[in-house]
């Protein structure tokens, strides 16, 4: 079993996955950003890292092809996007769909896209949260695996709300990856079914 984690920045979700003692033989971390702080976290844990600097590629297709080449070499059971800030093309998504997941900082389908916490505050919602979902060609709209909700509190800023959501991300992402690696996730009619634990 091999897990590939794609990051672009701080890598706190990647760290939560690395600390979760997942049932996987090998983990590889790949970043499109050579300065991603998450790369240091991975290296300090002796995790293999690769950088595919998107600025060196003329277009999305060639970037996705270079990324695919590295990922294919890992023969991944699962590819987990964790704070990965590039939009992946349909060819890439179709190649890895059913074993390509993402964590999004909102209760999808609400607030797909960027700046989710500021938008949630702007809308005055009382409940916000995060979602782990399968990645499909339609951005932030794949079958939902697990969600967590947090209250929006008086005086919240995008930062305070975001920090509360991030705490929950670090709980639900390892849970979703563990379920997947245990083979307990199936998708029927676009909806995820998680089999109960087989004792």
The catalytic site residues sit at 104
- Enumerate residues 6+ apart whose C-beta is below 8 A from 23: 1, 178, 181, 182
The annotation status of 13 as a binding-site residue, yes or no, is: yes
The annotation status of 115 as a binding-site residue, yes or no, is: no
- At 51 the three-state DSSP class reads strand
The annotation status of 85 as a binding-site residue, yes or no, is: yes
Q: Quick one: which of 3, 6, 12, 134 contacts ligand GRF (CB under 6 A)?
A: 12
129 binds ligand GRF (CB under 6 A): no
Q: How far is the CB of 197 from ligand GRF (least distance, A)?
A: 27
Near ligand GRF in 102-121, by CB under 6 A = 103, 105
Near ligand GRF in 38-97, by CB under 6 A = 38, 82-83
What would the two tokens of residue 43 be? 């290296």
Considering only the stretches 4-12, 23-31, 54-62, 143-151, report the one whose residues sit in contact with ligand GRF under the rule CB under 6 A: 4-12
Question: What residues are paired with 50 via a beta bridge?
Answer: 30
Beta strand 100-104 pairing with 78-81: parallel
- At 7 the three-state DSSP class reads strand
Q: Round to whole Å and give the CA distance between 43 and 29.
A: 9
What residues make contact with ligand GRF under the rule CB under 6 A?
7, 9-14, 38, 82-83, 103, 105, 166, 169
């Amino acid at each position: 079993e091999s897990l590939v984690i794609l990051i672009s920045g701080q890598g706190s979700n990647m760290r939560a996955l690395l600390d979760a003692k997942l049932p996987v033989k090998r983990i590889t971390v790949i970043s499109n950003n050579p300065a991603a702080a998450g790369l240091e976290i991975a290296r300090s844990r002796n995790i293999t890292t690769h950088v595919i600097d998107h600025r060196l590629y003329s277009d999305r297709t060639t970037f996705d092809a270079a990324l695919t080449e590295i990922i294919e070499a890992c023969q991944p059971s699962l590819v987990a996007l964790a704070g990965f800030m590039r939009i992946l093309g349909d060819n890439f998504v179709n190649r890895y769909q059913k074993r390509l997941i993402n964590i999004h900082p909102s209760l999808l389908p609400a607030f797909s896209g960027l700046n989710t916490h500021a938008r949630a505050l702007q809308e005055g919602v009382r409940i916000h949260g995060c979602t782990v979902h399968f990645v499909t060609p339609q951005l932030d709209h794949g079958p939902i695996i697990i969600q967590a909700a947090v209250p929006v509190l008086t005086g919240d800023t995008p930062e305070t709300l975001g920090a509360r959501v991030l705490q929950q991300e670090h709980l639900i992402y390892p849970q979703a990856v563990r379920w997947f690696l245990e083979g307990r996730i199936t998708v029927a009619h676009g909806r995820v079914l998680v089999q109960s634990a087989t004792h």
